[in-house]
Amino acid sequence: MPKSLVLTLGHNASAIAIQNGQILGGYEEERFTNIKSDSAFPRQSIERLMHYFGNHFDDVSIGHWFTAGSVFNNKYLDLDFIRSISDDIYSIDTGLTHHDSHMLSTTSFGKYYGLPEDHMVLVADGFGTFGECISIYSRGSNNSCILLNRFFGYGKSLGMLYQYATAYLGMKMHNHEYKMLGYEAHITEVLSASHIVCLNDIIANDAEKRVKSMFNEPIDKDMDPLVNKDALAAAQHEITNLLDGVLEQLELKDVSIFAKRVIIAYYVQNIVEAVIGSLVNLYKPQNLMVAGGLFYNVKLNHKLADMVDKFSVFPLAGDQGAGLGVYEANHRDLTWPGHLNWGHRDLTYVKGEGIVTVSNSFDAMGIMADELSKNGMVNIVRGSMEFGPRSLCNTATIAKPTMGMVETINVMNDRTTVMPMAPAMTYNQAQDFLTGTDRIVGSLEYMVVTRDIKHEYANSIRGGAHHYPMTSRHTCRPQIIKDDPLMIGLLEANGPLINTSFNYHGVPIAFDAKSIEYSHAMQRKFADIKTVVIK
């Protein structure tokens, strides 16, 4: 039976094995190198797949962001190594852009969860193979697809705005963008009501200018940093000046680092919501699918969900899943497996003080229930590793949803995040606790979109709730559990629980025995936590 290797190069470089449209396994290179969002050529990921599924593949699909689809040996790609695996190589080229690959990667996901065939696909990220930063497609019956519009250039890129705003605030690009959502919620703590009005006026004016420039300024396609690094530096300089100007217009003096982060995060978030919202308003789709790194922004996704009848976020919105679109372009048979647990691993030899190894979920449930009762938290490691950025209860810290638990876990992991953690809940609990879940197709299983928490339940899951004082709203980015007896048993006994990634600060989600033992040992320096491993 035909067997394919799917690679995505760039941030979160990854490799996936597929046979007859069925995903056999997949890894991100960061899990082997312990470098978050590693963009190195995913050699170790490929070699692990070869270990499980053989040394030869019938073809290789390569997703990337190189200019005009040019595929060549460079620090991101060892083409000679790939040719030793297979003679047939498909890649992004002049007939298939980076954004097209993002769009096509969503096909099997939408089919699996029943998104209506007639829907719009919105792709937005930093930039693609022709400098594209936003692409809008219309999809219909029998996978028909029409490109409605496409915008080019760093100056129009909301992904670049987010990236360089992160650097402007002294945080790590491609790593800490998610923290901006946590900061922006504190706006009423750092600005007076009159200053917030002024900031909102600045945002409205700048968003209007940005939308007009998208439609009126000339197209600039040649923006890839492999050929034009000066363009990147110029874009960062322009964004720095823009953000400096926001603070100057507010006429604030001696702003603290925290206040600066809150103000700029609020500005960027609302610019992004206004611009993307205006595009959705322009095309008025009934149903909407989104993909591309910008749509890891769960608050943006919340806004978009409320603008359409049915809304879906592809859970591999970033580049680690874009190679699936190249595969789909050439095979047209990809089937979504219903989960992201793709990283096969051996958990037989995980050892250490406080690590309990069991052979089945029944024993694990008893120990976890006891730890939740006594200590309020417990680690669980089982089965295959999650592919993508989210811990989905296979490699996770599970805890009672209190602010005290959030603070303990952050100290234990040496994290300083301002973001709330995500609650896991059963389908029935989600119906009780949340509003608007019927709009979301599939994505509530993957923690990529927020929903409002009903007022009467907000305090009961405070550690998993994001509070917006200006509107008195509470939201959360849930993981709704449907087919997991262990977690369903714990949730039915305890109510919703926090699910956060099991990893110590500075390293990716724990993967093998070494990384599991490391994160566990570092946590134990600060808290008496157990790690339950189902071998």
pLDDT tens for the chain, residues 1 to 535: 899 999 999 889 999 999 999 999 999 999 999 898 899 999 999 999 999 999 999 999 999 988 777 788 888 999 999 999 998 999 887 689 999 999 999 999 999 999 999 999 999 999 888 889 999 999 998 889 999 999 988 889 999 999 999 999 998 887 778 788 888 888 999 999 999 999 999 999 999 999 998 888 665 554 544 546 677 888 899 999 999 999 999 998 889 999 999 999 999 999 999 999 999 999 999 999 999 999 999 999 999 999 999 999 999 999 998 999 999 999 999 999 999 999 999 999 999 999 999 999 999 999 999 999 999 999 999 999 999 999 999 999 999 999 999 999 999 999 876 667 899 999 999 999 999 999 999 999 999 999 999 999 999 999 999 888 777 889 999 999 999 999 999 999 999 999 999 999 888 999 999 999 999 999 999 999 999 999 9
Q: Report the candidate in 470, 474, 476 with the shortest Cα–Cα distance to residue 455.
A: 474
* Pair 112, 336: CB distance under 8 Å: yes
For residue 360, which amino acid is it? N
Query: What is the chain's alpha carbon radius of gyration, rounded to the nearest angstrom?
Result: 23
Angle formed by the axes of helices 257-283 and 158-168, nearest 10°: 180
Please tell me the distance from the alpha carbon of residue 460 to that of residue 165, in angstroms, as a whole number. 34
Task: Match 């087919």 to its residue by tokens.
Answer: 483
In degrees rounded to 5, what are phi and psi of residue 59? Answer: -160, 165
Please tell me the distance from the alpha carbon of residue 319 to that of residue 324, in angstroms, as a whole number. 10
Please tell me the distance from the alpha carbon of residue 56 to that of residue 53, in angstroms, as a whole number. 9
pTM of the model: 0.94
* Pair 458, 438: CB distance under 8 Å: no
Query: Which two structure tokens, joined as six digits, stand for 410?
Result: 């952050």
Task: Match 């046979």 to its residue by tokens.
Answer: 19
Q: Are strands 395-399 and 497-501 parallel, antiparallel or unpaired?
A: antiparallel
